[in-house]
Structures are given as C-alpha cells and as structure tokens.
Amino acid sequence: MGRRNASTDNENFSFVSNVVKYLLFFFNFIFWVISMVMISIGLYARMEKHAEAVTAYMSVDPTILLLVVGVLIFFLTFCGCVGSLRENICLLRTFSICLIIIFLLQLAIGVLGFIFSDKARIKVTEVINKAIVHYRDDLDLQNLIDFGQKQFNCCGAVSFKDWTQNMYFNCTLENPSQERCSVPFSCCLLRKDEAIINRKCGQGKQDLDYLEAGDFIYTNGCIDKLVNWIHSNLFLLGGIVLGLAIPQLVGILLSQILLNQIKDQIELQKYNLHRS
C-alpha cells in the first residue's frame, strides 16, 4: 500500500509545466521573427549589390554580418520553438548547449579583448583600413563609415591620411580621380548654421599638414576616438552587455527546467510501466 501511495505521489508531482513550456516557446518565437527580418533584409541588400563585387569585400560587408547573425538566431530559435512545443530532448539540449557556448565565447572575447587590448586595437585598425579601401565599392559600407566618422568626429583609422589607401582618394600623381588626395564629406567640420552640406568640402585636404587641415576637417583617427568613447561610457556598455546576456541566461534556465521536467516525466512513465 505504501508503494502504491509513493507511485501516486510521483504521478502528482512529476509533470511538464505548461507555463515553462509556452514561456520558452514565445521567448524563442519573438527572436525567431527578428531573425527572419534580419535574413530578409540581408538577402535583399546582398542581391542588390553588383555581381562582380559579391566576394571582393565580404569580410567588411555589413550585410554578411547581418546574414550570419540572422541565420544563427534562426537556427537557435527553431530548436527552442520546436523543442519546447514537441518536448523534444535533443532539440532542447542543442538549444541549451549552443546558448551556453555563445555566452562563454562572448565572455572570453570580452576578457581577451581587455587583456590583449593592444592586439585588439591592431586588429580593429586593420578592419577599418580594409573598409576604407572598399569605401566606394559598397553603399552600405560607405554609409556605415560616414555614420561612424560623423558620430565620433574622426577621419580614417589612425589619421585622415589613411584615406590615401582608397583608389579614389589616393594622393599619387597618377591618380586621375576627381577626388584625388581628398577625404569623404563625413570628415568635414560642419557649421551648425550650414543648411546644405557641401559634399566636396574634403577636396584636396590630404595635401595639407595636420594644423592646416584641422581648420577644415577632423584630423584624428577613429580608433583613438572609439577608445576614449569606450572609457567614458563603461556603464552604458555594461548595461548593453547585461541586456544581451539576460535573454541568453533566461533561455538557458528555461530550457534546463523544461529538460529536467521532461526527463522526470519519462522516468515516471518507465517506473509506472515497470510497476504495472
């Protein structure tokens, strides 16, 4: 009789919570929709680019980053959505393990970036210089660089002279471009009362020395400006990192709770089958 009561108690207390199940589903469904939007925008933007430039500058193409992140989120949220609805242990375990790996990678990148700040600085400089080289090849990349230079009041990676790496802005005498030895308009010092932006305001400014150029354009590179901004906004960056970490930790927690409940339910069914 005591064993029968114990079995009855197990039946009463071992169950899969619908609250956890559907909370995990809706949590993943929201990010699944976001991933579909990201993939759609990325594919559209990529297809609009010139065919000959498809593989020329993939490492600095913003649409590639959008597509990669979108596909990754789509895969994870698919595992989470289907795994929670179907109570599939394999999909839920895949979802949980992938989230743990991504979280640990983000943590490792942050720690290594802080410890090896000089090497991280060199790597970021290389990426910016490569983006400068392909500035006129991709409108998305061009808009991103212009936004960054205007936002941080900077020009180039280390200095405004970096723009000579671009074939259109190159300062060599053999360069036939009308933009020879110039810098993009986003480097220019714009007056607040200036109603119309003069997009040729950077014409020939690389021929000037730093003091002379400083009257017309930003001469400091974006690397130093970015580092200073990071040091001045550590609390903001900490909030952003926390905001990215919380959904991951919530997903890991919910998936682990649901996994344990499903396993307990399976064990209970095996126990009842054995008892019968």
Per residue in 98-151, pLDDT (tens digit) is 999 999 998 898 888 778 788 888 888 998 999 999 898 888 889 999 999 999
| Average pLDDT score over residue span 44-53 | 66
Question: Could you tell me where the DSSP H helices lie in 116-196?
Answer: 117-133, 139-152
In this structure, is the dihedral angle defined by the CA atoms of residues 233, 150, 158 and 109, taken in order, positive or negative? positive
Q: pTM value? A: 0.73
Using 50, 70 and 90 to split pLDDT, how confident is the model at 238?
confident
Percent of residues, the chain, with pLDDT higher than 90: 48
Percent of residues, the chain, with pLDDT higher than 70: 88
Distances (CA, A) of 196 to 149, 199, 201, 224, 267: 19, 9, 11, 29, 73
Q: Which two tokens stand for residue 48?
A: 């609009």
The ranges assigned to domains in the chain are 2-118+251-275
- Note the pLDDT of residue 47: 79
* pLDDT above 60 (res 51): no
- Note the pLDDT of residue 83: 92
Rounded to whole angstroms, the Cα distance separating 11 from 200 reads: 77
Within a 10 A sphere around the Cβ of 244, how many other Cβ atoms? 12
Rounded to whole angstroms, the Cα distance separating 106 from 108 reads: 5
